Amino acid sequence: MLTEREMQMLTDYFRGEKTVTEIANDHGYANRSSLYKLLENEEAQDYINKLTDQTMKNALRLLKMNSRDLSKSLLDIAKGNIADVKKVYAQLQAINSALEKAGMNSKTIVFEDKNSNDDDYNELMDMLKEKKTMDQ
């Protein structure tokens, strides 16, 4: 059974906000090898999987709650209603980040709008692909 300290250390590792050395030091371990040894433990892997599942559920819940606004914004972008290119880039980056956290990507979304056509959809997909290439 994992101790409270081990679970907190795994949670910090899962969040990815600190280095392995910082996490080990914050939780009273002499060096990072303690965390690596913990990660080999089956219970630790189960705990990380539990954290992953919870994160996925939260991300999907947020996407569902905001799906109407999200779809409207994406369709506006696809239709060329772009007043501020920097703002649109930031929106696309935020959307892609949300999709990745939900275990999806731009290829998993299908938009349906009676006024849109395949060119709009393709243009949006090209924009998302271009953004992803720029990030890498």
Q: Which two tokens stand for residue 136?
A: 């890498």
Residue 25 Cα distances to 21, 47, 59, 100, angstroms? 6, 21, 30, 30
pTM of the model: 0.53
Q: Which of the pair, 85 or 9, is modelled with greater confidence?
A: 9
- Quote the percentage of the chain above a pLDDT of 90: 31
The ranges assigned to domains in the chain are 4-61, 66-135
Whether residue 41 has pLDDT greater than 80: yes
Judged on CB neighbours under 10 Å (0-12, 13-18, 19+), 92 is buried
Q: What is the pLDDT of residues 55-101, one digit of tens each?
A: 878 877 877 777 777 777 777 777 787 788 788 788 777 777 766 76
